[in-house]
Structure 1
Amino acid sequence: MSITTAAAAPGIRTGQWRLERVELINWGTFQGHHGLDISRKGFLLTGHSGSGKSSLVDAVSAVLTPRGKLHFNAAAQDTSARGEDRTIVSYIRGAWRRSADDETGEVRAEYLRTGATFSGILLRYSDGTGAKPVLLLKLYHLRRGSNTPADVSELSILLQEDAKLTDFVDYLRNGIETRRIKSNWPAAFATDKHSAFASRFCRVLGISGENAVLLLHKTQSAKSLGSLDDLFRQFMLDRPKTFDMADTAVAQFGELSEAHRLVVEAREQVEHLRGMEEPAVAFRLNSGRAAEAAALSSALPSFKDEWKLKLSVEAKAAAESAVLTAQHDFELAASVTAELEEAHSAAAGKWTAMAGRRCATSRLRWTWLRNAKALSWGARRVGFKVGSGRHYLPRQLQRVRGTSGRGPHRTQWPGCRPGGQQAGHQ
């Protein structure tokens, strides 16, 4: 890019505010700080495509024009696709080329500044009388990972004293520090609203209004004019109100047409949906039943577990009751067994004693019979005759037995008398 300026002519239009200097920091491919002095007589920018001509013109437009009406590289938009790619973000990031991804094929812009970055533009105006200049500044900041115009922080400053753009760098590195800027330049007018900024600089520079600024932005995009009619229609005359009325009428007709289309579509939908009422009711009913069945089915495992737990608790209680009953019966049986064993022991002792007595009696009788037999044998030897009759033994013999000879224990022996005579048999 080459810059041609006319010779200095300080006497040209003295008292009229004209652009005297442009300074840029991190604007597009202008990395770092750059400055350009502008002659009051005029200047010409020439150069090959991509040399930075449009970037300088867009920098001036970015300061003067509201962002909503700003069109970067407007002169090239009719003939080049690059014009539509230029945005405030691409200028702050420093987009320098577009390339396709090898894997996805997606076309992406490559930036000079990928992290958190800032940009600044300074326009210096002078009236040619040597009075203090008027500085118009735009400061931008963009955080890391932010790539949309809505993420851009912006501050507009009007300063009626001399300064350099580099004086504001320290207030941009970590974001725009508006309070510090106002503290160091108390006379500066700083705002983030472009409308207030435009109103202030138009009054200071003697510009009739915002329309004049917009007209300047339009003329910057004019590559050629076919006639004076085009010049006046496109750049000099305001847009007629009838155009707005026509646009409003067209929009209203479009709204009416769209409303009619929606009514027709709604009628058709009603006709189609009328026959769907009964199936819809059945569907809702069956859906409710299905949902209820699904809820019951999902609750079945927990119900079964709860029921099993209840049965288990009841079975446990019954088992514990049976155990207590069996334990009571066992204790009762043990008590009865102890009583029976005690009674058995007592009866056994009683019967043992009785059997002992009977045994002693039997032994005594046996001894008595043996003695009686011996006495009978001895009586025969001494001369007693023992007959077939029965005679009571002498009392001496009865004493041997230990009885009185009376009662049921008397023993009758065969009668015998001395001399061997038997009773009843002489």
Structure 2
Amino acid sequence: MIDHLRDGLANSASALQAPLFTVPGASDGTTQWKAETFQLVNWGGFEGRVRFHFHPGATLISGASGTGKSTLLDAYIALMMPSDTPFNGASNDAVAGRARNAEQRNLLSYLRGQTDTTADDSGRQRPKVLRGLQRSTWGAVAMTFIDDHGNRFTVLRLYHVPASATQASEITMRMATYEGTLDLADLAAHAEELFAPKVLKAAAPGLLTHDSYTSFAARLHTRLGIGANGDGSKALRLLVRIQSGHQIRTVDELYKEMVLERPATYDAADRAIGHFDDLESAYVAMQTEQQKAVLLGPITQKYADLTTARATINQIEAFELDAVGDGPLTVWRLRREAAILEVERSANRSRWKLNESDLSVASEVQRGLEGELTATQAAHRDAGGAQLEDLDNQKKQSLLRREERLTRRSMLAERTAHRANRWMTRDCSTRRSPLPPSSCPDTKQHRASCTTDARPYATAPFRCLSDAKL
């Protein structure tokens, strides 16, 4: 009986290991891939790195509202689908397939762990987040698949969110694939380097980075065998619709929501409506900002003036000019004066020592020169220098007497010449002149004066003595 019970338990265990769902024709001779491990880092309410291991047969995810079921599905959508794919409808109170607004869940809110919105002091709505508030943060999503032969293949996306990011386009994203199992915790050190491809490849040899979703999807679809004849994208879109969480009430709704492709005109209409909504929002925002600028324009200058005035007042009050006694300014002035005097005193002391040294050297030189002069004078006297000095003095005295006599002679000559001129200029008629008139210095001048009563000069009893020599 015990053996029978053991065989029953073995058969039950085998039944549990068998896949719950099979695709005819795919089980025999066809490699099937299954999700093995799902990794999240800083995604929604999951802080840090979190791992989910899936059962080889089937895994049921259950939980109360708000426990993170939709967050896991949205993480899978963010990993496998294009970045513009809406998250499932159960996570947002919106119709499936329509783009979400800023108040609903999006990539930025998931990475920062937004839980609610609060009003700030100015009344503006601010997101209440678990991380990334006024600082950068990062997040990642990865799924490891395993095939029937035990081969593993990991698909991952890495995100870096700067502190100033306000929309998803400002997030740095890296898409990569890896043959084998990759632990996202090993890549945490490269978040500040924005997960540069070169750094990632060095950290995980064999890792392939993809610059576009097209390249990423091609690798994903080919390696995992998703879709036939290049219909991998359609297969994933159908999976997203199934995961959207909406109840299907009719067959018509089933075909419209899960089988038929959504007409492209719907997307075009949504884009047109969204474009007009954006234009209207931009216009309203421009009007509001213009009104703010007009109203608050002078405040900036007035606030700057107020700040400058307060700073000036604080500077003036810091000196305590009105304080009784020695205020900071007086103390600073005295200290500054004492410092300057101390510097000058030190400099004067140094110069005094230097001058004292120079004076000592000069005095020594002077004494030496005076000794040499005394010795030279004594030697000069001993060699007859006294007689030469006497002769030089006699010479000087003789020159002085000569100059004196020349001066007296010159004065005597001047007086003599003066008297002679006076004697010669007297009237020639008062003197007898035996000489003819032609012998006078000025014949024409004296001719008339050397005649008396119009008589000829020859009868005059006097002669002119203008030529007389002393």
TM-score by length of 1: 0.51
Matches for 1:94-105 after TM superposition, within 5 Å: 94-101=113-120, 103-105=121-123
Q: Which residue in 2 is equivalent to 1:214?
A: 237
CA gap 1:245/1:139 in 2 versus in 1, 3 angstroms = closer
Instruction: Confirm or deny: 8 A CA contact 1:121 1:138 kept in the other structure.
Output: yes
Instruction: Confirm or deny: 8 A CA contact 1:72 1:83 kept in the other structure.
Output: no
Richer in strand (by share) = 1
Q: Which residue in 2 is equivalent to 1:177?
A: 196
CA gap 1:145/1:12 in 2 versus in 1, 3 angstroms = same
Which of 203, 206, 220 is equivalent to 1:201? 220
How far apart, in 2, do the equivalents of 1:31 and 1:56 lie?
13
Shift of 1:128: 3.0
Deviations 1:1-46 (A, max 9, x none): xxxxx95436975631121110111111111111001123222222
How far apart, in 1, do the equivalents of 2:93 and 2:86 lie?
12
Instruction: Confirm or deny: 8 A CA contact 2:88 2:245 kept in the other structure.
Output: no
Shift of 1:240: 5.9
Which of 96, 109, 134 is equivalent to 1:90? 109
Shift of 1:61: 0.4
Extract unaligned runs of 5+ from structure 2: 1-14, 273-470
Which of 32, 47, 51 is equivalent to 2:67? 51
CA gap 1:40/1:77 in 2 versus in 1, 3 angstroms = same
Matches for 1:223-238 after TM superposition, within 5 Å: 223-238=246-261
Matched, 1:17 2:33: yes
Count of residue pairs the alignment pairs up: 240
Matches for 1:2-401 after TM superposition, within 5 Å: 7-9=16-18, 15-68=31-84, 70-78=85-93, 85-101=104-120, 103-113=121-131, 114=133, 115-130=135-150, 132-208=151-227, 209-239=232-262
How far apart, in 1, do the equivalents of 2:19 and 2:221 lie?
23
Instruction: Confirm or deny: 8 A CA contact 1:137 1:156 kept in the other structure.
Output: yes
How far apart, in 1, do the equivalents of 2:267 and 2:209 lie?
38
How far apart, in 2, do the equivalents of 1:43 and 1:30 lie?
20
% identity of equivalent residues? 30
Query: One-letter code of the match for 2:257?
Result: Q
Query: One-letter code of the match for 1:55?
Result: T
CA gap 1:12/1:144 in 2 versus in 1, 3 angstroms = same
SS at structure 1 position matched to 2:189? helix
SS at structure 2 position matched to 1:168? helix
Instruction: Confirm or deny: 8 A CA contact 1:24 1:120 kept in the other structure.
Output: yes
SS at structure 2 position matched to 1:46? coil
Shift of 1:151: 0.9
Instruction: Confirm or deny: 8 A CA contact 2:91 2:105 kept in the other structure.
Output: no
- Max Rg structure: 1
Relative contact order, higher structure (CA 8 A, sep 6+):
1
Extract unaligned runs of 5+ from structure 1: 1-5, 252-426
SS at structure 1 position matched to 2:74? helix
Q: CA RMSD in A?
A: 3.0
How far apart, in 2, do the equivalents of 1:196 and 1:181 lie?
18
Query: One-letter code of the match for 1:123?
Result: M
How far apart, in 1, do the equivalents of 2:86 and 2:78 lie?
9
Shift of 1:154: 0.4
Q: Which residue in 1 is equivalent to 2:297?
A: none
Q: Which residue in 2 is equivalent to 1:380?
A: none
Q: Which residue in 2 is equivalent to 1:270?
A: none
How far apart, in 2, do the equivalents of 1:180 and 1:199 lie?
23
